[in-house]
């Protein structure tokens, strides 16, 4: 290993130990941002459904630990590691990561602000990690009794969620594309609690049990989200809003309002209704 690589690996371990000391479970990552240790079951047939019960390392995020000795052992087994991953959804922080896509981070920030306005929640100051390709990871904490799943562009185009079973690349890590670092104005912050309205969008929808006043507010937020679409976003935003409406039992109620909102943005009515029907079919199949 070259001297510079050895220094990178040493720094990765140091950053990982610092994160573990703050209660963040970590694993070593390679320069590809993937877990550095390969599965000990990779050559076994049939595949072994093991999440670390065998006691050997190489189970990805299931290896994540806050124990300093455990962290050192993982990195000793992967001396080529150049970074570390932080497991999401694990106590005590129950971390939730909002990953703003690299392709156009400024547009993604606008998407998130539109969503915040539409659903009446504020975006709190929180830990923000800058990625080497120009994206950002926002760190939030969730309640211990809510399991937030991983998702890609489900919340909105270009916005991914890292939840239970996922991980975030920690600041100080080095990938093949460069280094991850804390945004200077967030370095002294701790992860902020996830706004309840945002949590309701990214957590699995609850089973309907009784009527509340919330569906009205949520419906208005979805309609506003469609109305605020710019050219090139209209179909995608309508599909996303229709999926959320059907997942929360509001699909039939909001069909006309969503279609009308889409038409007001310039989408042809037949295309708007076809998009809503596609959302209805997709969410029905996911149940």
Per-residue pLDDT reduced to its tens digit, 218-257:
678 888 888 887 777 788 788 888 888 887 778 888 899 9
The segment with the largest mean pLDDT, out of 79-83, 155-159, 260-264, is 79-83
pLDDT value of residue 143 = 92
pLDDT value of residue 110 = 64
d(CA 27, CA 225): 38
Structure-block tokens of residue 211: 């009527």
Using alpha carbons, select from 106, 92, 105, 108 the residue that is nearest to residue 135: 105
- Does the pLDDT value for residue 130 go beyond 50? yes
- Does the pLDDT value for residue 189 go beyond 50? yes
The domain locations on the chain are 1-85, 88-197, 214-286
Yes or no: say if 182 and 128 are a contact pair by the CB < 8 Å rule: yes
What is the per-residue pLDDT across 48-59, written as a single tens digit (0 to 9) for each? 778 888 889 999
What is the per-residue pLDDT across 194-224, written as a single tens digit (0 to 9) for each? 988 888 888 876 555 444 445 455 678 888 8
pLDDT value of residue 16 = 98
Q: Which of 20-34, 134-148, 231-245 has the lowest mean pLDDT?
A: 231-245
Yes or no: say if 170 and 119 are a contact pair by the CB < 8 Å rule: no
pLDDT value of residue 107 = 57
**Predicted TM-score of the model (pTM):** 0.71
How many Å separate Cα 119 from the centre of its chain?
18
Binning pLDDT at 50, 70 and 90, where does residue 70 land?
Answer: very high
68 contact partners, CB below 8 Å, separation of at least 6 = 17, 20, 21
d(CA 202, CA 197): 9
pLDDT value of residue 102 = 53
């Amino acid at each position: 290993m070259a001297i510079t690589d050895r220094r990178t690996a040493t720094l990765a371990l140091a950053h990982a130990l610092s994160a573990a000391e703050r209660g963040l479970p970590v694993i070593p990552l390679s320069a590809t941002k993937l877990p550095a240790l390969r599965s000990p079951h990779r050559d076994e047939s049939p595949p072994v459904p093991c999440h670390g019960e065998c006691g050997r390392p190489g189970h990805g995020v299931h290896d994540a630990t806050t124990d300093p000795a455990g962290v050192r052992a993982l990195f000793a087994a992967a001396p080529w590691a150049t970074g570390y991953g932080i497991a999401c959804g694990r106590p005590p922080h129950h971390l939730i990561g909002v990953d703003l896509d690299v392709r156009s981070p400024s547009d993604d920030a606008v998407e998130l602000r539109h969503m915040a306005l539409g659903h009446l929640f504020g975006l709190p100051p929180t830990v923000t990690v800058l990625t080497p390709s120009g994206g950002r990871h926002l760190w939030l904490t969730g309640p211990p009794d809510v399991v937030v799943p991983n998702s890609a562009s489900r919340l909105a185009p270009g916005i991914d969620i890292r939840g239970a079973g996922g991980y975030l690349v920690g600041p100080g890590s080095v990938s093949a594309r460069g280094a991850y670092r804390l945004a200077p104005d967030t370095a002294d912050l701790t992860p902020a609690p996830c706004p309840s309205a945002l949590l309701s969008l990214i957590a699995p929808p609850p089973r309907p049990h009784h009527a509340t006043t919330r569906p009205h507010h949520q419906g208005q937020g979805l309609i506003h989200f469609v109305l605020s679409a710019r050219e090139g976003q209209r179909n995608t935003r309508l599909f996303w809003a229709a999926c959320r409406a059907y997942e929360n039992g509001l699909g039939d109620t909001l069909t006309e309002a969503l279609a009308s909102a889409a038409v007001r943005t310039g989408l042809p009515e037949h295309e708007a209704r076809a998009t809503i029907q596609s959302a209805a079919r997709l969410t029905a199949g996911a149940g």
